[in-house]
């Protein structure tokens, strides 16, 4: 049997058994695997066991692996091509506020919208149960029509992604030899729109934390001390305002060290989108771009570093009025990073910036939330090119090479397992993930399965000589 015949047979099987695939997704969605609430611990284990049992039935060597938190699902299957590690997560966000849901969030249903399109409704439909099941169903289609898989496959399903992934990195370190592969496949990403698939080729890094400026020894009456006493809120806001100049450029010394130009292949992909920056800002009630002058809105969002104030407080903020000069003021600050920017260096530059602007009788303290470096993949690597060709064939148009926000597992896989990731998902921006009334388009689920069938086939056709994704 030829590769082409195997490929078509697997697609035909996926097409003929879509209803069965929906039934299996609904069975998993009915399990309230809310990882952040200890009351749902047994449900998390139940979800892990369901997946492990299914993978075992598909011929995987599968197990539920305990952690100090919720268990992992680990499974292995031999194949002819490169070795891939597929990552997804079976845990979900809480459903509060429950009153805003149209129906029981753990009673999934297929709904028909006014335009005739259909959506899968319920918690986990998109994030991440629907997404991970597109891959599992593609595996099922290949197994039903072939004696083997096109690739050697290891699967890792996490149970704490929505609650901080505390067990993930220790688990990766403890099981590194078992989990190492040629590259990873990750499904927890999205499409550009309902008709345009996307491959995430860059993730911005992060440096974030909290700063508190301390002034007088106690809150002061502004009628007695207003004027001569330093006001920490005024001081902090002036320091924070000085983080950017009037061209939107971050002023920290050395901040742009390691920032590179966009990969030409990625730039070409973006140019073909016909992106409407006016609509993008208009959808959120804005009209004037505020990022770095000289860069388009899409480039500002995906490829340039940022400095943002995420929260600020101090003094009296309750009802009514209290005329005080506060003893301290605080802010939460984050920097999105690109290229080779060093999160430790960026945060250190921020602390130095704050201290340099403090008068002699004031001080500052900092709480560092942590940081991660940006990740960038070459747009022409063999696995990524194979993935893009598969998506192009399924969707009938060129897949967008996009950049996204931080996905911590990608950095963990890179630093601990020494592997890069190909990131493909089929979610949409209106899927209401983490919110009431989560949904996943049936088209995303259907064509997501078909896409993974094609991707596995294309990857399997690569030389079996351990093809890695270059950084």
We report the CATH number of the domain holding residue 214 as: 3.30.70.360
325 in the same domain as 211: yes
Ordered DSSP codes for 325-355: E-SEEEEEEEEEE-TT--HHHHHHHHHHHHH
Q: Is 393 among the domain residues?
A: yes
142 in the same domain as 78: yes
Ordered alpha helix ranges (H), 217-358 = 222-225, 232-241, 264-271, 277-282, 297-302, 343-356
- Mean pLDDT (10-residue bins), the chain, 471 residues: 66 97 98 97 98 98 98 95 96 96 98 96 98 98 92 97 94 98 94 92 90 97 95 98 96 96 80 85 90 91 93 94 96 94 96 98 93 81 94 93 81 93 94 95 98 96 54 37
Q: Is 139 among the domain residues?
A: yes
Say which residues have a Cβ less than 8 Å from residue 343's Cβ, sequence separation at least 6. 205, 206, 207, 335, 337, 371, 372, 373
137 in the same domain as 18: yes
pLDDT at 201: 86
Residue 54's alpha-carbon distances to 24, 79, 118, 156, 283, in angstroms, are 10, 18, 26, 14, 43
63 in the same domain as 161: yes
**What is the number of structural domains in the chain?**
2
410 in the same domain as 347: no
pLDDT at 407: 81
50 touches 27 (CB < 8 A): yes
Q: Is-cis flag, bond preceding 128, omega within 30?
A: yes
437 in the same domain as 353: no
pLDDT at 310: 94
447 in the same domain as 401: yes
154 in the same domain as 223: no
Range of the domain at 165: 3-203+374-460
364 in the same domain as 262: yes
74 in the same domain as 199: yes
Residue 244's alpha-carbon distances to 33, 263, 273, 345, 398, in angstroms, are 43, 26, 30, 18, 37
Q: What angle do CA 382, 387, 388 make, to 5 degrees?
A: 100
Q: Is 465 among the domain residues?
A: no
Q: Is 22 among the domain residues?
A: yes
Q: What end-to-end distance do the CA atoms of the chain give, in Å? A: 36
Q: Is 314 among the domain residues?
A: yes
The residue out of 346, 371, 396 marking a domain boundary is 371
pLDDT at 4: 46
Q: Is 470 among the domain residues?
A: no
Q: Is 165 among the domain residues?
A: yes
pLDDT at 269: 76
pLDDT at 107: 98
Check which CATH number belongs to the domain holding 106 and give it. Answer: 3.40.630.10
The residue out of 329, 355, 371 marking a domain boundary is 371
Q: Tell me the pTM.
A: 0.82
106 in the same domain as 54: yes
> Is 267 strand, coil or helix?
helix
145 in the same domain as 88: yes
The residue out of 318, 353, 371 marking a domain boundary is 371
Q: Is 471 among the domain residues?
A: no
pLDDT at 471: 37
């Amino acid at each position: 049997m030829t590769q082409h015949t195997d490929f078509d047979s697997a697609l035909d099987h996926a097409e003929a058994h879509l209803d069965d695939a929906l039934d299996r997704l609904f069975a998993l969605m009915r399990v309230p695997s809310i990882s952040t609430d200890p009351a749902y611990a047994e449900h998390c284990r139940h979800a892990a066991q369901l997946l492990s049992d299914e993978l075992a039935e598909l011929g995987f060597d599968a197990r539920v692996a305990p952690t100090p938190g919720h268990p992992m699902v680990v499974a292995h299957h031999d194949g002819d091509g490169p070795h891939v590690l597929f990552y997804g997560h079976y845990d979900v966000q809480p459903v509060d506020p429950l009153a805003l849901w149209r129906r029981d969030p753990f009673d999934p249903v297929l709904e028909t919208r006014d335009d005739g399109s259909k959506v899968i409704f319920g918690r986990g439909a998109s994030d991440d149960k629907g997404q991970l099941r597109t891959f599992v169903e593609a595996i099922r289609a290949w197994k039903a029509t072939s004696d083997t898989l096109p690739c050697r496959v290891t699967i890792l399903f996490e149970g704490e992604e929505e609650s901080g992934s505390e067990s993930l990195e220790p688990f990766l370190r403890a099981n590194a030899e078992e989990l190492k592969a040629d590259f990873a496949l990750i499904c927890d990403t999205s499409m550009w729109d309902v008709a345009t698939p996307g491959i995430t080729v860059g993730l911005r890094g992060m440096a974030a934390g909290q700063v508190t400026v301390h002034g007088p020894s106690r809150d002061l009456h502004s009628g007695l001390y207003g004027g001569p006493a330093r006001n920490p809120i005024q001081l902090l806001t002036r320091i924070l305002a000085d983080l950017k100049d009037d061209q939107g450029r971050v002023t920290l010394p050395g901040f742009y060290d390691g920032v590179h130009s966009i990969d030409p292949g990625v730039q070409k992909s973006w140019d073909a989108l016909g992106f409407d920056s006016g609509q993008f800002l208009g959808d959120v009630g804005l009209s004037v771009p505020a990022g770095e002058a000289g860069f388009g809105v899409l480039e500002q969002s995906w490829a340039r570093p940022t400095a943002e104030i995420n929260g600020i407080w101090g003094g009296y903020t309750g009802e009514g009025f209290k005329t005080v000069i506060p003893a301290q003021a605080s802010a939460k600050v984050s920097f999105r990073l690109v290229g080779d920017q060093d999160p430790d260096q960026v945060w250190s530059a921020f602390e130095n910036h704050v201290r340099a602007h403090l008068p002699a009788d004031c001080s500052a303290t900092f709480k560092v939330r942590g940081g991660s470096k940006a990740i960038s993949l070459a747009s022409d690597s063999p696995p990524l090119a194979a993935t893009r060709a598969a998506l192009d064939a399924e969707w009938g148009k060129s897949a967008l090479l996009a950049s996204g926000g931080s996905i911590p597992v990608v950095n963990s896989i890179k630093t601990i397992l020494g592997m890069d990731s190909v990131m493909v998902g089929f979610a949409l921006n209106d899927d209401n993930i983490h919110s009431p009334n989560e949904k996943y388009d049936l088209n995303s689920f259907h064509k997501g399965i078909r896409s993974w069938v094609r991707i596995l086939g294309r990857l399997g056709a690569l030389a079996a000589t351990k093809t890695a994704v270059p950084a």
